[in-house]
Amino acid sequence: MAGENVSLGFKLYCLSVMTLVAATYTVALRYTRTISTEDMYFSTTAVCLAEVVKLLVSLGMLTKESGSINRLKNAVVENIFNPKELLKLSVPSIVYAIQNNMAFVALSNLDAAVYQVTYQLKIPCTALCTVFMLNRSLSRLQWFSIFMLCSGVILVQWKPAEATKVQVEQNPFVGFVAVAIAVLCSGFAGVYFEKVLKSSDTSLWVRNIQMYLSGILITLVGVYMNDGEKVLEKGFFFGYTPWVCFVVFLASVGGLYTSVVVKYTDNIMKGFSAALAIVLSTIASVMLFGLQITIAFASGALLVCVSIYLYGLPKQDTSRLSQLDKNTETESKQKLIAV
């Protein structure tokens, strides 16, 4: 636990929310990218719109946190529109924009369950970034679990499971490359943002607003560069359906909500959440997309789920054990002297 004494019921609530958000977002996004090709929406506009929603939610949370209009005004003037800080937060904004766009590319070419398993490569990527950027260390069990996770992903990707109900053209290799780029972005941006947060006492919501302001500008550039002519011809919201709006909602509010409730959970619970999301995504893929489960996929997914659990186990307090050994050794010496 992160220092919060909450009931088991609330922990289970947090677990349910994180699991449903992760699984539903993946399956819903996959559904919107495979149902039609003629009226397909522009993924770049969806990424940009998600940044706008995140900004609005963060502004609302900062207003609530400030408690008054004057405090909110001071926070905006002193912290948010600080050129140096905005430039600092533009780094994760760019990286997250790439990551979010890569998620659309990946789920246009990979099944939701295959994506969900492969995306767990973010764990070793984040672990390596924490070692190099935050000078943290990993236990032997964590290194072993990272090796196990990578082995599981290799099994899943060796011969990707096919979805019989999906008729659109797909390229599994492009999908895997997109996931690889996404996990690299996720690991770096997450650790970089954590480092920025811990370098000052600035509110989380202020930092979020700074990041989303940059994010909106960056994603708008992405819209112009990739789909500029088509957006001008057909409109920003071309191809939007209730399902697409739901995906945007999950990508924005869902991500923010998950980041808030994570503080009430421990690593073991987060591991269970990721494993359950894989299971739910697999069940949904079988029912909606006709995913054919292979032995390689099942074995790889199982390895990934076990490795996530092992990685989240608390480290053994070796310093305490060594102190106990020293005390025992001292007592033994004293007994020998007494004899």
90 in a structural domain: yes
Domain assignment of residue 224, given as a range: 15-338
Measured CA to CA, the distance from residue 226 to residue 220 in angstroms comes to 10
8 part of a folded domain: no
Q: φ, ψ for residue 291 (rounded to 5)?
A: -60, 130
pTM of structure: 0.81
Does some domain include residue 118? yes
pLDDT for the residue numbered 274: 80
Half-sphere exposure of 194 (CA within 13 A, CB side): 15
Instruction: Report if residue 2 sits inside a domain.
Output: no
- Look at residue 7 and tell me if it is in a domain: no
Please give the pLDDT value at position 231: 94
Of 148, 158, 155, 150, nearest to 121 (Cα)? 150
- Which pLDDT score is estimated for 227? 92
Residues in the chain predicted with pLDDT less than 70, given as ranges, are 1-6, 36-37, 160-161, 163-164, 167, 255, 257-269, 271, 315-339
The pLDDT, as a whole number, for residue 42 is 93
pLDDT in tens, 73-93: 887 777 777 788 888 889 999
Q: Percent helix, strand, coil in the chain (nearest 5)?
A: 80, 0, 20
Domain count along the chain? 1
Domain presence at residue 3: no
Q: Residue 196: inside a domain, yes or no?
A: yes
Q: Return d(Cα 49, Cα 64) in angstroms, integer.
A: 23
The predicted pLDDT at position 258 comes to 59
Tens digit of each residue's pLDDT (9 = 90 or more) over 136-157: 888 888 899 889 989 989 888 8
For residue 1, tell me if it sits in a domain.
no
